[in-house]
Amino acid sequence: MVEYSGRLEFLRRSLMEWFRRSGRKFPWRGEVGWYGILLAEFLLVRTRSEVAERAFHELLSRFPTPENLCSAGVVPVREIFERIGLPSRAERLVTTVCTILREYGGRIPCDYQELLKLPGVGDYIARVVLSRVCGKHVAFVDSNVLRILTRFLGARLSVTKAAELLERYIPKGELLYVNVALLDLGALVCKPRKALCYICPLTPRCSTSSGTGSSLSRSETLRLRVVLK
């Protein structure tokens, strides 16, 4: 088995320093509780963060509590989601919020299998909730996180393997911080087609960076084609 401890320790230190200077600021990264986190995650599906942010503010303005949203029903919530091209997410969100209120006493379950029973909650959102709401040592891996780890380690990784590596090598109490930093680095620097390697904090130890180039070559990208499980 390949030993990644040294590489991921470098990643941890470099990312934490970079994130303190360059991390993005979003309202859902504050103390918003399970309700605010669910709103954000349902909005962020295939949606640019700045678009999701506007819709997030509107949702909280019109439905400041989960009880408000549940009693309002699907129609007014769908109006907001239609504007960002995700009308089907509205019904799932309302159903999920109402289910939490009625079947879990207004407290979101901190059990992975229970979370997956909620409409619209898959592996990624369940892991976000376990990490951010429940305080568990759980990594959440999207395409940004997977791309960075694949390029940085020079290895083909599944979502499951990437999460396992983060949970194994990033210390408790720091995983959430590193995880969010990976999201931002993937959105701002280690982009899918034009990775800005020359400003990336991981360049000195990255397996695929040229060190001075502005993007990965096509051959490098194809060589590290991600295998998802």
Q: What is the pLDDT of residues 143-196, one digit of tens each?
A: 999 999 999 999 999 999 999 999 999 999 999 999 999 999 999 999 998 899
35 is catalytic: no
Q: Which of 41, 53, 169, 184 is catalytic?
A: 41
104 is catalytic: no
DSSP state of 28: G
**155 in helix, strand or coil?**
coil
41 is catalytic: yes
In the block, which residue shows the tokens 């180039």? Answer: 213
Question: Could you give the domains of the chain?
Answer: 5-24+139-223 (1.10.1670.10), 31-132 (1.10.340.30)
Low-confidence ranges of the chain (pLDDT < 50): 1, 212-229
The rounded distance, in Å, linking the Cα atoms of 10 and 28 is: 28
pLDDT for the residue 30? 86
Angle at 162 between CA 165 and CA 185, to 5 degrees: 105
Q: Which of 35, 53, 142, 184 is catalytic?
A: 142
In the block, which residue shows the tokens 């040294």? Answer: 6
In the block, which residue shows the tokens 């040592």? Answer: 137
The rounded distance, in Å, linking the Cα atoms of 33 and 15 is: 25
DSSP state of 173: T
DSSP state of 92: H
pTM for the model: 0.88
Q: Which of 4, 112, 124, 177 is catalytic?
A: 124
